Amino acid sequence: MTAAYVALEGGHVLEGRGRASGTARGELVFTTAYTGYEESLTDPSYEEQILTFSYPLIGNYGVRTERFEDDRVHPRAVLAKELTDDVADWLEGEGVPAVDHLDTRDVVTDIRDGGAMKCGIAVGEDATEEDALAELEACKAMSEHTDIGAQVSVDDHTVHGADNDGETVALVDCGAKGSIVDSLLDRNATVHVLPYDASTADVEAVDPDILFISNGPGDPANYEQAIELVEAFVEDTPVAGICLGQQIVAEALGGTTAKMDFGHRGVNQPVLDLESGQVVMTTQNHGYTVDEPGDYLEVTQINVNDDTPEGLDGVEHDIITRQYHPEANPGPEDTLEFFDSVVGMAGKSEQRAVPADD
């Protein structure tokens, strides 16, 4: 059996079965999702993290590329109770270390009680505890990854749906999932995907009907250029955001964000709409949250479990954001109408701009 060691913050070392060789370090987090492992493993929001699956068997329906959210695996390493050969072979080919035969109930409990933590992993025929501890020693906190956007964003401006005749969306790619673009294309939008550090001139060249800030990894405070874009365009252009995008919008408009103890990651997070009283189930993957929305945003939805903000609307401007993933890959499709609301904001702004009759 290939040796595998998992060193946790504090110095405790777990031993498991190695399924994909290599060394890695990152923030140790868990997901409660019992399906959608292909989508989770290709979600850019897991960059610089080590993903633990709480569901005991991962891989029971194979690996299909059409389910991928991006073109590569993003977690630095993967932990599970049991991985099938399909998933283990996929991770080996991606160069992502994987360990199973762990009691993931204990791992999840440690994270829940102590918070997301630094972790080091070593897997291989000659791997040792010392190798894993060395990775742990070199591990940085998520807030210290000040340019993490560069690891997950497009390098250049790309256009999707150029022949569509709906709204023009400038999507700032801070680690966008492919299904977000697909959801906008399904509504006849033309989507201009811009790098996470796009300038105001880059956005002006698109002349968008909507400015959209995507999901992504890390501390929202480190996405300074995206924050500046929201500040620059919110007066005249409708703004939308998902996950990290909600946090960036809040930062731009005088709100504050905070690191959560262990975040929300899974496909069964309940969200309450404060106006309708309806509760919907949502897909989530985030470790930061909006702490205070500020004066220009109002909280419209909250998490049933901990009351953290799940939806924000603009008080004076056309703004709509969601902390969860309405594109529902993986997860329930309770909230797909969010994208209808997003594209609808453009028409709302145009209507507002028409002068009243004399």
DSSP state, residue 355? P
Give me the residues paired with residue 285 across strands: 265
HSE on the CB side for 203, CA within 13 Å?
Answer: 29
Residue 305 marked in a binding site? no
Catalytic site includes residue 119: no
CB atoms inside a 10 Å sphere around CB 150: 12
**Residues near 227 by beta carbon (within 8 Å), at least 6 away in sequence:** 220, 248, 251, 252
Residue 196 marked in a binding site? no
Residue 351 marked in a binding site? no
Handedness of CA 282, 287, 291, 296 (dihedral sign): negative
Catalytic site includes residue 174: no
Residue 54 marked in a binding site? no
User: What number of helices (H) and strands (E) belong to the chain?
Assistant: 10, 19
Residue 51 marked in a binding site? no
Q: Given 145, 192, 286, 325, which residue is catalytic?
A: 325
Handedness of CA 176, 182, 183, 187 (dihedral sign): positive
Q: Given 82, 243, 286, 310, which residue is catalytic?
A: 243
**Residue 203 and residue 211 in contact, taking contact as beta carbons nearer than 8 Å:** yes
Residue 143 marked in a binding site? no
Residue 285 marked in a binding site? yes
Catalytic site includes residue 327: yes
Residue 55 marked in a binding site? no
HSE on the CB side for 119, CA within 13 Å?
Answer: 28
Q: Which residues are annotated as part of the binding site for L-glutamine? A: 45, 216, 218, 244, 247, 285, 287-288
Q: Which residues are catalytic?
A: 243, 325, 327
Q: Which residues are annotated as part of the binding site? A: 45, 216, 218, 244, 247, 285, 287-288
